[in-house]
Amino acid sequence: MTTSNSPQPHLDLKAPPPLPAGGLRVMALGGLGEIGRNMAVLEFDGQLLIIDCGVLFPEAEQPGVDLILPDFGVIEHRMADVAAVVLTHGHEDHIGAVPYLLRLRADIPLVGSRFTLALVKAKLREHRIDPVLVEVAAGDDHLAGPFHCEFVSVNHSIPDALAVAVHTPAGTLVHTGDFKMDQLPLDGVLTDLGAFARLGVAGIDLLLSDSTNAEVPGFVTSERTIGPVLDSVFERASQRLIVSSFASHVHRIQQVLDCAVKHGRKVALVGRSMVRNMGVAQDLGLLRVAPGLMVKLDEATSMPPEQVVLVSTGSQGEPLSALGRMARGDHHQVTIEAGDTIILASSLVPGNETAVYKVINGLARLGATVVHKETARVHVSGHAPAGELRTLLNVAKPKYLMPVHGEWRHLRAHAALAQETGMSRDRILLAEDGVVVDLVDGKASIVGSVPIGNVYVDGLNVGDVGEESLQARRILGDEGFVALTVVIEPSTRTIVRPVHLSTRGFSDDPAAFTEVLALVEEELKRSLAADEQVDAHRLSQVIRRTVGKWVSDTYRRRPMIIPTVLEV
């Protein structure tokens, strides 16, 4: 077996052997080698426990894709064995795939904090699924089949985040979820280092820990530092203010509401997820809203601009989000005016940089002033940087570490931090999606991998779009297509109508392909004369080869070529 520290660690891994009796198995179906799609499957005594079930957002080379799901194929036949799904917090990369999992079995218990479950319930309502919800809080214990789950409070960029310790006869596994160690959190909820220390003293056999900011030195800046910066932006803004944030960042929205009250502005929420999530937060008492502060968007658009703050989705440059439509000038209610101030109060999720800067440039082109993380401290990360990850390792003292939630550079950086704290290399398990880790007799090791892939959501279709379809879409988007139709009379072996050609996305010059039409007819006539039998498929291949070579030689391009041969 390849060791976890080799340059290409998992290329030769085979299917894992049967789980030894009394052993605990961990399968990562997402979140390792990527930011998003977090999902870990634990197996003990024939039963499964799932920790998180999130989505990954598509990149530019995945055109038309809305979401990317974990591949449930390896557990699809074992839905009856799933004891529960534990949800560490309510971010989409941890709960977004729950509706698709519950399509396989709707009565799987969902275990999580009050706010997390409220967000999940609202999401599932849109999918017409009535879930089984089990509410827990920090300090609670919950028994799911053979898995004894203990919940620990952690600080993150969303309320009610939890880490989970899973106790089994095979040993104790601790999953941190997403966390940081803000010493002055806005809601007063600290990461419970005392609980991690207590678990460490009892013995943590395997720690799965957030790696997102492992490359970032030092300690996190407190959320409280954002308030004065927002206040100064409000102070300077002479016209309308638009604040874009994650639709789940209750603490940030609270700071915006407080600034709005101070500066005499009304607030309107823009974007379905923002309206839904803040409504849930307000109902649970997590968001304090002053009387008369909130107005409907229709009312806000008719008010003097200096009296309005819009709180919008779209901080990651999503093209269909409210802010994305505003930047393009096609939002049906909000038109950006010169002098508007836009605040992007969020971090850049890796892979979204181009889309975000496109939105920033679009807003700037319309005359708006755009304030973002690189120009002012309007956001701090929700993930622990290197100093805090070292602190957790020193407090928890795990026997084995499995870095999770990160791209490869983050996972390796986290492994290096662990070695700095004195952990030996053979106790650090660098894994990626599909890799299987077994904890047997107190020893954790990589034992194999399971085949997994990307499951794409495209509109209402789930899993119908594959890599072949995406490759075709990329070719169409990059190179365009050329369609040729020819009509053949088989008995006389003649072309009875001239070759008809049409193109899309290749050239605006109608004469661009004039030269190749004669070549196509010449090759077709040669084939018709030489072949014993008229074969429409073979003639199509002749057209494709002839046009493909000519286009490559003439234009150095490779469009999609679609030949059609009709027989009359």
Same domain as 260, residue 127: no
443 or 524, which is more confident?
443
- Report if residue 456 sits inside a domain: no
> Does residue 5 have a pLDDT over 60?
no
Domain boundary among 451, 478, 494: 451
Q: Are residues 210 and 186 in the same domain?
A: yes
Over range 155-170, report the average pLDDT: 96
Between residues 379 and 393, the one the model is more confident about? 393
Residue 552 domain flag: yes
The answer for residues whose C-beta is within 8 angstroms of residue 91's C-beta and 6 or more apart is 54, 158, 178, 246, 248
Mean pLDDT of 536-556: 85
Q: How confident is the model at residue 566 (pLDDT cuts 50, 70, 90)?
A: confident
State the chain's mean pLDDT as an integer: 88
Phi, psi dihedral angles at 150 (to 5 degrees): -120, 130
Residue 127 lies in a domain: yes
Give the model's pLDDT for residue 347: 73
When mean pLDDT is compared over 97-111, 494-508, 529-543, the highest value belongs to 97-111
Contact 50, 87 (CB under 8 A): no
* 371, 403, 438 - which closes a domain: 371
Asked if residue 197 has pLDDT above 50, the reply is yes
Residue 3 lies in a domain: no
- Same-domain check for residues 303 and 181: no
C-beta separation of 249 from 293 below 8 A = no
pLDDT at position 168: 97
Q: Is the pLDDT of residue 386 over 60?
A: yes
Summarize pLDDT for 344-366 with one digit per residue, the tens: 888 766 666 777 888 889 999 99
Residue 17 lies in a domain: no
pLDDT in tens, 67-87: 788 999 999 999 999 999 999
Domain assignment of residue 251, yes or no: yes
How many of the other CB atoms lie within 10 Å of CB of 320? 9
- For 390, the domain range is 24-218+381-451
- DSSP lists the bridge partners of residue 561 as 482
- The residue to which tokens 């030092």 are assigned: 218
Please give the C-alpha separations between residue 96 and each of 32, 127, 213, 315, in angstroms, as whole numbers. 17, 12, 22, 18
Query: What's the confidence (pLDDT) of residue 476?
Result: 58
Answer yes or no: is 460 within a domain.
Answer: no
Best CA proximity match to 564, nearest among 529, 539, 530, 545: 539
Answer yes or no: is pLDDT of 474 > 60.
no
In sequence order, what E strands does 70-184 have?
82-86, 109-112, 132-135, 141-144, 147-153, 162-168, 171-175
Q: State pLDDT tens for residues 28-58.
A: 999 999 988 999 999 999 999 999 999 987 6
Q: Which of 334, 349, 371 corresponds to the end of one domain?
A: 371
Our count of domains for the chain comes to 3
Residue 141 lies in a domain: yes
Question: What's the average model confidence in pLDDT over 93-103?
Answer: 94
pLDDT digits (tens, 9 = 90+) for 142-154: 999 999 999 999 9
